[in-house]
Amino acid sequence: MSVEFDLSPSTPINLSKAIVLVVETTTHAADILGQILKGFGIAESHRTTSIREAAELVKHKTFDLILIDPDVEDGAGYNFVRTLRTGMVEPNCFAPVILMSGHPRVSRVKRARDTGANYFISKPLAPNVLLQRILWVARDKRPFVEAGGYVGPDRRFKFEGLPPGSDGRRSSDIKDPLGEASEPNMSQDDIDNFMKPQRVSL
């Protein structure tokens, strides 16, 4: 998945017509997010701390982006996103969804991936991180997949290297560009030997 887009301060963005749904755990958290979105130029954001109200809103309004803390109402946010996707009520079932979670509960981490959300952000929210992610989901080229109980963006990411200008965070990230091969390719026998179980005598 390519993340190569221009995030320089002079790049123009127009979010003035975007209609955003914010589902947060507290009114203060919703206010924080609402203020950040206002700063981005988003004129219409609907904020709620109630899943029932959020479900009503998606029935009657078309949203261009949904930002939700899945832990709202004791984890009901996960089901809300899953139901939104699997309900297949267009166009909101295809709206980009960003999950924003606070402390990751051990029991809930695995659920996030299967909701059908486009992206997951860890709180605390900072304007630059949120804007990056909004731009990312806007340019997300992954197809939607409907398979078994899952509906949402394809969960398989194609790794296309580190984002430009980044050194990576993992010790296994290769920091320098790869050059041309300096030795001949290995033979198939050499490769097979890597996988071949061998008896070891101690």
Partner 1 sequence: MSVVRRFRPENRLAKMLQAPGGVSIGVALHNASAALESIRESCMQALDQKLAVLANMAARPENASRDEAMYLIANEIFSESGSFGLSELSAAAYSLCTLLDSGDRTPTRAATIRVHIDSMRALRHPDMAGDQSARAAVLEGLRDLTARLVEPLLTEESTT
Q: Does 28 bind partner 1 (CB under 8 A)?
A: yes
In the list 9, 165, 179, 197, the residue contacting partner 1 (rule: CB under 8 A) is 9
- What would the x/- binding string for partner 1 be over residues 175 to 194, using CB under 8 A? --------------------
Closest to 98 measured CA to CA, from 83, 128, 77, 74 = 77
Do the beta carbons of residue 99 and residue 68 sit within 8 Å? yes
Least Å distance, CB 81 to partner 1, is 16
Query: Which of 110, 128, 187, 200 is in the footprint of partner 1 by CB under 8 A?
Result: 128
Give the contact letters, 78-97, x = binds to partner 1 (CB under 8 A), - = no.
Answer: ------------xx--x-x-
> Which is nearer to partner 1, 89 or 191 (by Cβ)?
89
201 contacts: CB under 8 Å, gap ≥ 6: none
Residues 6+ apart with CB under 8 A from 37: 20, 22, 45
Window of 45-53, 124-132, 163-171, 184-192 that interacts with partner 1 by CB under 8 A = 124-132
Treating both helix axes as pointing N-terminal to C-terminal, what angle do 51-60 and 72-87 enclose, rounded to 10 degrees? Answer: 20
Cite the beta strand spans of 49-182 per DSSP E: 65-68, 97-101, 119-122, 144-147, 150-153
* Distance in Å, CB of 36 to partner 1, minimum: 5
